Each structure stands twice: as C-alpha cells, then as structure tokens.
Chain A
C-alpha cells in the first residue's frame, strides 16, 4: 500500500493556501485605505476552495480540456470569486475600504489559518505516529 499525501492531508492543505491568498487580498485593502478611487476586494472562500479542489483530476463543470501545458485556461472560477465589496458608507473620493471591517476580516482569517494549520499539523502527527508504530 502506498501512502498518498494528498489523500492523507485532505482539504486542509488547499484551505491553508486559500487563507494565505485571502490574507494577501485583505492586506492590500488595508494598505490602500487612503488611496482615492480604490475599491475593496475580497475572495469568496467557498468558491475558490471548490475550484482548487476541482483542478487536479476531474475537470470542473463547463471547463475546457487542456491537452498542452501552454494552453490558457478559460475564465476560471478564481477570477470570478475575487469580488468587490459593497461599501457600507459612501466616500467622496470613491474609496470603498472600511478599515475596521477589513481589519476584523483579516484577523478572523488569521485565526482560521491557525485552525487549518492545527488540522494539518495533526494529520502530520498522525502519519508520524503511524510510521513509528508507537
């Protein structure tokens, strides 16, 4: 029997990657809190995670088959899931960043990252235990 890391680690590895990507998008919102005309963005976590999980092996619904590594992908789910945030308060310079809201989302995302990390670490610990036979 061969050990497949993909099967053993499950969803958590992909989830961690999406968490990092979301942290980047939110950090960018906070960095541009004073930029005129900047529109705050956010990831649809569920959609991105689904598109990441569908990528290897079976193709996502309505996707074009890629037979060569140089083929470009069609409009992928990831670009559609990077959405614009609905502003709660209009601003005269067109900026839609609400610093408090973004900071809360960023901190919650960091906590969720820690949770995903705990799960991933637990998986690795189980594998180590299995190998050692303790």
Chain B
C-alpha cells in the first residue's frame, strides 16, 4: 500500500525541518559569541535542502507509475556556513580584542533567524497534518467490510 510512503515522505520533511530548527537555534545561541580572529569566529550555518529522487530501476518496470523520475521526500544535502561579512567592532577594552583593538562577532542576522524559525515550525506543522490525514485514511481502510 503506497499510503506507507506518505509516512516516509512526511517523516523525511519533518526530520529536515527539525534540522533547520537545530541550525537556527545554534545560530541564535551564538549570535553574540565574540572572537579575536576571523578563523575562530562562529559563522551562520544554513542547511541545504534537496528532494530525494526515486531510483527508477529499483521498483521495476511493470507498475504503471515507475516510468518517470519522481522525487520521494526531502533530505538535507549538507550544512553550509554563510559567506556574509563578519561584524567587526572596535572595542579595545574587550578581553577578546586583537592587537588592533577589534573584536569579531558572527555574521548571524537574528531577525532572519527568527523568520527562518517560524517558517520551519510552520512547515513542520503542515507535515504533521499530512501524516495525520494519511493515518486517518489508513485507519479507514482497515475497517473495510466491517
């Protein structure tokens, strides 16, 4: 029964969205982490989403729906660090200040991270609803003939 695949698809999306929430939490938590060099400073991390392509050969040719490439859910390809310019502040009294008196702050945009967080949590809820509807459909099919 291909209703099972809806659970996989919605599950993959929920896992991807929770990873997005994780990176958002990490970014916001480190938004004010000061550092004295550009190499050590924290940079905003973003997950890269990609759809999972179903392998055509795996399912064979005898069913009606296998002759087109079709994606099956979403995956996180990797997590990339943002290239946005770092926040350099002139704070000579700061304990982390370098020889020129500058302190490096991460390139985390907190407003952007908050909107990202809301978007991720809404997408997560949508996929919970999808899974819930699929569960109801499945429960109905179990009552067939009763």
Contacts and interface: CB of A to CB of B under 8 A. Distances in A.
Answer yes or no: are A and B bound together in one complex.
yes
How many interface residues does chain A have, given as a range? 35 or more
B74 A35 contact: yes
B144 A32 contact: no
A82 B67 CA distance: 11
Contacts of A33: 13, 123, 126
Nearest to B61: A72
Given A82-B70, A107-B133, A55 B145 contact: no
B2 A30 contact: no
Interface residues of B, number: 42
B87 interface: no
Interface of A is mostly: helix
Nearest to B5: A24
Nearest to B62: A69
A20 B10 contact: no
Interface in B100-146: 119-120, 123, 126-127, 129-130, 133-134, 136-137, 140-141, 143-145
Interface string B46-75: 000111000000000110110110111110
Contacts of A128: 145
Most buried by B among A25, A32, A99: A32
Contacts of A15: none
11 contacts: A24-B9, A25-B70, A28-B71, A28-B72, A30-B10, A31-B12, A32-B49, A78-B65, A120-B144, A124-B145, A128-B145
Interface of A: 20-21, 23-25, 27-28, 30-36, 38, 41, 51-52, 55, 69, 72-73, 75-76, 78-79, 82, 99, 103, 106-107, 110, 113-114, 117, 120-121, 124-125, 128
